[in-house]
Amino acid sequence: MTSGDDISAYQPHVRYDLRTGICLVLLAMFFQALRSVLAKWLLIRGISQNEIVFFQASGALIILGPWILASRVKLKVTGKVKDYAARIIAGFLTMYLFIWCLKYTSTAKGILLNNTAPLFIPFFTMMMFGRRHSPRLFAALLTGFVGIILILKPDPGKMNLGDILGLASGFFAGLTMIFIRILKKNGEERTRTIIFHYIMSTFIISAVLSAGSWATPSGGMTWAAIAALAIVYSGFQLTYTSAFAHAPASVLSPFAYFGVVFAVFLDWGVWGTVPGIGSAAGMVLVVLGAVSAARIYDKVYVQLR
């Protein structure tokens, strides 16, 4: 959920096309993995995370703007301003920390840690709404956090800054999902409206952050990668949004982790890196824990609407 967008809200009384939904979410996860590889390549070339986020957001505005405006959505904020502000900040931090983490860790590990959001959401719902959860849910969470420990290897002399940043992006992704649910419930905001405000605010914030240290990229390959990044990110937004219009989140959530699988192959093909046994085992546990947790508290999401 590196975009900070959770558009997987449960939609009752909707006729689903599961095959189309699954195909779309798999395509979205391929775009996610490819986007991460492009961002990492640009970081290696010396482009800062501030500029990468800026180029990604500006490109998405150009490409997705007509799609959003064509739907005649109301772009005026109708929900509570504080909820919108919280969603924007949490969403921006999700994307920013994820891009930053790629500077220090593999794309596969970064994507996985960014997708730990389901492991944090139950704690947010307890603190923010006083909800109680079943022992089955906590067993799933424990499985996921054991996997995180295997990935992070919490030894002060060995911990990777990229892993910490990636996990932090997952934390804020979970918080973003909560505030999107609140906006959809209280403000009856449409998905495209929320996406537009998110991309526009990301564009503005990243522009401000980049202004003080702006360095214009040079070289045809670099600009080609920037253009590809904007196109792939826009493709991710379109396919991911469409996927959840064709199938419920409880069905699609396991397939979202195929982004890690795609990233492992891309890491191997581009940089020749593969995860170690401990990290691979941790990845499996995180996926099992997160998918189980998402299935168990799917009804909580409905209540938040």
Measured N-to-C along each axis, helices 135-152 and 161-186 cross at an angle, to the nearest 10 degrees, of 150
**276 in any annotated domain:** yes
4 within domain boundaries:
no
Provide the Cα torsion 170, 174, 179, 184; round to 10°: 110
Structural domain for 105, as ranges: 18-304
10 part of a folded domain: no
In order, the DSSP letters of 224-261 are HHHHHHHHHHHHHHHHHHHHHHHS-HHHHGGGGGHHHH
For residue 135, being part of any structural domain is answered with: yes
- When divided into structural domains, the chain yields a total of 1
**Other beta carbons within 10 Å of 30:** 20
Name which of 10, 57, 69 is nearest 229 in CA terms. 57
| 250 within some domain | yes
Task: Examine residue 8 and state whether it is found in any structural domain, yes or no.
Answer: no
Is 141 a member of any domain?
yes
Per-residue pLDDT of the chain (305 residues; tens, 9 = 90+): 554 544 444 444 456 677 888 888 889 889 999 999 999 999 999 999 999 999 999 999 999 888 777 766 666 655 567 777 888 898 899 999 999 999 998 898 899 888 888 788 777 777 776 677 677 778 888 888 888 888 777 655 666 788 899 999 999 988 887 877 776 664 445 667 777 878 888 999 999 999 888 889 988 999 999 999 999 999 988 888 777 777 766 677 777 778 888 888 898 888 888 888 888 888 888 888 887 877 766 554 444 44
